[in-house]
Structure 1
Amino acid sequence: MAKVAIVGTGISGLGSAFLLNPEHEITVYEKAARIGGHSRTVTLDYDGRAIPVDTGFIVFNRPNYPNLSGLFAHLGVPTHASDMTFATSIRDGWLEWGLKDLDSVIGQRRNLLRPRFGMLVRDVLKFNAQAQETVERHPELNVEGLIAKLGLGDWFRRFYLLPMSGAIWSCPPSEMMNFPARTLVQFFANHHLMSFTGQPQWRTVTGGSQEYVRRLTGAFAHRIRTNCGAVAVTREDGKVQIKDTQGGTEVYDQVVMASHGDETLALLKDTDRDEQAALSCFRYQKNIAVLHRDESTMPHRRKCWASWNYVSDGDILHPKVTVTYWMNLLQGIDQKYPLFVSLNPKREIPDHLVFDRTEFDHPVFDEAAIAAQGRIAALQGRRGTWFAGAHLGHGFHEDGLASAVRVARGMGADIPWEAGALAAPDAPQQKARQPVMRPGFPAQDPVPAELF
């Protein structure tokens, strides 16, 4: 039995702790008073009714989340069906349409009289039919090159692909055009965005993600030190020494750094050249999530409303964009109590309509970060140090848990559920194993936001 420190209580840290706890003496460090990372449930008072609402991780599906689904089944976490649909509203309602059903596609009836809207729909079908084969033949293409290669029109680019992909990857149009086309198409294909049938059933945790965190930590809650963050980690003579914010110092056999990549770099006080080179590649962006009841953040036409809504007050190429999640649809909340989560809202939401504001840090997945993921794999277990985190995949809940699984297996632990195929160590997941991306909001580089 080894004495193991775990730094961080997001899904990666708590997953590592859960898997290592049966065979090791663990201690979990958390700088905040709350555990769970992006698993964050707010229980609000809505006109006298208590309603739990998730503002971070919200939905998953079984085919694309094998580890998370396995964990939930193992813990008996209650879940219920959810909905994942997309809508876009351009130029303050000048053009609106959704993908929930046929009625939402033509929710703005004048679209039936717009020849260019008909061409947009035609181009969507063409993209769905030809994009995969095209990127296989031309893997070097970026999104702009793929659009040109397929001869797709301006409305397809401005009013479908850029809003959809920009919401998923939290990337502005100018950056999205340089995004690797193969990555985009693979994601669309893996997650059934290129077909109108066969989509997986989305699910959400009944009672909010706080319910799975409570069950996950039941056996080791007494080993979690909240308000006690690590401030310095040093390795010497085969041991790991950790100094914490409360002034304590403790020595361990091994450490799992389940903190953000930039935080890990700052905490490790004796990084070697390889660690420095890999960890310095991870950057993060702060984003604000507002839980509220302001319906003006949604498309003008209610028929176009969807689970996630890309609403622009300007042209798509010069947008003031807010992505708003319709929590009633996502979490099955009674629609008598309208609830929304808006990410980096560009309009001021009146204070009397706001229930909660919070700030999240999300990894920026540029070329340097993606390349660094592979280098981290070679560092695992060296100097008694392991690395976990969603930044080692695509930034989502399944990535975080998958990284914990890899660490636990590397340390000889058993995995108490039978997950499907796991991702290659610390590399982006491929094919059906890739987790679902989260819709997001404008950033400087591809940055996953919340929801998944």
Structure 2
Amino acid sequence: MTNYRSSPQLSRRGVLASAGAGAAAALLGAAGRPGAAEAALPGRAGTRVVVIGGGIAGVAAAWLMDGYCNVTLLEAASTLGGHNATVQLDVDGRQVAVDLGAQFFGPASHPIYHKLVTSVLQLPTVPNALYNTVAQYGVQTPVMVSPSAGRPITDVLPYLPGLQAIGAVMAGAKDLETRQDWDTTVGEFVEALAVDETLKQSLVYPFVASVNGASIPQAKAFSARAALALGVRPLVGDGAEQRTEYVNARDGLQAVIAALAGEFTTVTALTNSAATGLSRNGALYRVVDAAGRVHVAEHVVLALPPEPATTLVAQLPGADPLVRAYRRFGYMPARIVVHRDPVYMPAASTDWSSFNILRDGDHAEASIAFQQLRGDVTLYKSWALNRRQEPEQLLAETTFRHPVITPDFIRAQSVLHSRNGCDGLWFAGSHVLDVDSQESALVTAIRVAAKLSPLSPNRRRLGTLPPSPVIP
């Protein structure tokens, strides 16, 4: 168990320095434990809340309620963060923060999250130059290489048919976004495109599948809008040509978690503390954690993935509709490796891009080249669940579950929306709203906090929210 306690003497700079050294978890934490407040209605100060799940949704919800509600945050893992997982690597004598899970965000695709990170928490970011190469295993010449700074236009002219095909994909994706069409599947969307059949198979399907970490057959069942949303959203709206910026948190997304948790005052965050029991007696919930501790609260926020959430809600009477809804959220395995050797890159270095997609049969996995992405370090982050060979210079790896966002996945979200807050049970997380992103997770946390802590100091710090594509 780790108690995260905040201290008036611990500055944000100190927290970030510790996070950069990989020691933030040992320094952060909550100054206050939940008191014996009287039962409170939503919106009243002193309300007791248990937040289950310490990813960005759970940590943000706790932070937004801090100073107003008495919050207990339970996380099953040894550290907070969830998919905001950062490793500190020594690369040529230099410490480099690498995000193993979530990574990219921008002012157009993630406007509220971007504001939180850059304006409220004032964390440093590094720009990313995102451009693509798509190739097939065993074929030396790529199917497509996109333009980029430093790549002469003459070098990409042979790939004009592929570039035009991706242009057609983006135009169709903008139409889906404008119409808010979640029902058209990737298979239906691609087959309707006026694109050569060979390019559909060798380029379009691999491109869409790799962006979502799926096999090509899996990707065909995705909602086309969900599959393409994060790539196309910067291109929608006024001034779209100036909205394609993506960044990373310089010290990794774990630094975002560290900064939020470092400001806790009325939040007790307990790691290695999976919630194992959930019951309700009158107006009060009882949450039992893995250590056998019992946490009593007026409200419970489920900010954990659907699979463990199902186990908890099934313990409540009358929860069958929620259980059925949770079981409609499909997931698939993913494996990420960080390495020094360019084992998954195109044969010719002149064809390298920041995002390199290699199709091999039904699988299309990507490799991010940091030297192309940021220009400051030679390093690769690759999806490697179905590769033919392992990297020779493996530095780090992780596995996790990635959502399969089908049209039914989106429809299942409406069940959670309809029951959000009923009997003091709330839902937060990237699966609850829109597509899987830091933005959707944060927005769900804001919606919960708006009901339970409308006058909290951190919600006021966040200020007026910019328009977000995840909010209909």
CA spacing shift, 1:122–1:329, aligned 2, 3 Å: closer
1:133 offset after TM fit, Å? 6.0
1:95 is aligned to 141
Aligned to 1:246: 291
The match for 2:50 is 5
| Counterpart position of 1:276 | 323
Partner Cα separation in structure 1 for residue 380 and residue 136 of structure 2 = 22
Task: Say which is worse superposed, 385-394 or 209-218, in terms of deviation.
Answer: 209-218
Alpha-carbon shift at residue 23 of structure 1 (Å): 0.5
Residue-by-residue CA offset, 1:79-102 (whole Å, 9 max, x unaligned) = 122222221111334331322428
Identify which range, 266-275 or 369-378, moves more after superposition.
Answer: 266-275
Alignment-derived partner of residue 85 in structure 2: 40
2-structure distance, mates of 1:46, 1:167: 27
Structure 1 unaligned residues grouped into runs of 5+: 431-452
Distance 1:106 1:231 in 2: 58
Q: Distance in 1 between matches of 2:105 and 2:376?
A: 21
Quick one: distance in 2 between partners of 1:201 and 1:275? Answer: 38
**Distance in 1 between the 2:333 and 2:87 partners?**
20
Match of 1:293 among 340, 345, 361: 340
Asked if the contact 1:8/1:28 (under 8 Å) is kept, the reply is: yes
- RMSD (Å), alpha carbons: 3.1
Conserved in 2, the CA contact under 8 Å of 1:98 and 1:107? no
Query: 2:277·2:287 contact (CA, 8 Å) conserved in 1?
Result: yes
> 316, 323, 326: which is aligned to 2:369?
326
C-alpha contact (below 8 Å) 2:145/2:353 kept by paired residues: yes
Show the 5 A alignment for 1:364-403: 364-393=404-433, 394-403=435-444
Give a deviation string over 1:332-360, Cα, whole Å, max 9, x none: 3623x33333342513324x511111112
Cα separation, partners in 2 of 1:80 and 1:266, compared to 1, 3 Å:
same
**1:83 aligned onto 2:129:** yes
C-alpha contact 1:288 1:343 (8 A) present in aligned 2: yes
Identity of aligned residues (%): 22
Gaps of 5+ in 2: 1-45
**Does 2:266 correspond to 1:230?**
no
Report how far residue 47 of structure 1 moved. Answer: 4.3
Q: 1:107 to 1:212 in 2, by over 3 A?
A: farther
Q: Does 1:69 align with 2:114?
A: yes
Aligned amino acid, residue 68 of structure 2: E
1:213, CA displacement in angstroms? 1.6
SS in 2 for 1:295: coil
CA distance in 2, matches of 1:130, 1:236: 51
Contact 1:135 1:141 in 2 (8 A): no
Q: 1:262-289: per-residue Cα shift (whole Å, max 9, x none)?
A: 2111022115232223222223222111
Secondary structure of the structure 1 residue equivalent to 2:77: coil
CA–CA distance in 1 between the matches of 2:404 and 2:240? 30
Conserved 8 A contact 1:120-1:155: no
Query: How much does 1:156 deviate?
Result: 2.9
Q: 2:352 aligns with which of 305, 326, 333?
A: 305
Output the amino acid matched with 2:300. Answer: V
Separation in 2 of the partners of 1:135 and 1:218? 37
Any idea what the Cα deviations from partners look like across 1:54-111, whole Å, max 9, x if unmatched? 21222211122122122111111111222222211113343313224287597978x7
Q: Residue 27 of structure 2 aligns with which residue? A: none
Contact 1:19–1:413 (CA<8 Å) still a contact in 2?
no
Determine if the alignment matches structure 1 residue 214 to structure 2 residue 258: yes
TM-score when normalising by structure 2: 0.78
Matched, 1:346 2:366: no
* Local SS of the residue matching 1:161: helix
**Aligned mates of 2:96, 2:471 — CA distance in 1:** 35
Q: Deviations over 1:28-63 (max 9, x none)?
A: 111111111111111122344332222122221112
User: Alpha carbons of 1:130 and 1:65: their partners in 2 closer, same or farther (altered >3 Å)?
Assistant: closer
Residues 217, 362 of structure 2: 8 Å contact kept:
no
- CA distance in 1 between partners of 2:148 and 2:334 (Å): 31
Give aligned pairs, total: 414
Partner-residue secondary structure (3-state), 2:84: coil
2-structure distance, mates of 1:281, 1:23: 35
C-alpha distance 342-402 of structure 1, shift in aligned 2 (>3 A) = same
* Residues 106/163 of structure 1: CA separation in 2 closer, same or farther (3 Å cut): farther
Rounded to whole Å, the distance in 1 between the matches of 2:163 and 2:213 is 24
Q: Provide the rounded CA distance (Å) in 1 between the counterparts of 2:49 and 2:56.
A: 17
Q: For 1:16 and 1:196, how far apart are their aligned partners in 2?
A: 31
* Change over 3 Å in CA distance of 1:105–1:174 after alignment to 2: farther
Q: Contact (CA 8 Å) 2:226, 2:405: kept in 1 or not?
A: no
SS of residue in 1 equivalent to 2:81: coil
One-letter amino acid matched to 1:205? A
Report the Cα distance in structure 2 between the residues aligned to 1:148 and 1:339, rounded to whole angstroms: 33
Counterpart position of 2:312: 267
Q: Which residue of 1 aligns with 2:7?
A: none
Deviates more, 1:395-404 or 1:137-146: 137-146
Return the alpha-carbon distance in structure 1 between the equivalents of residues 240 and 105 of structure 2: 19
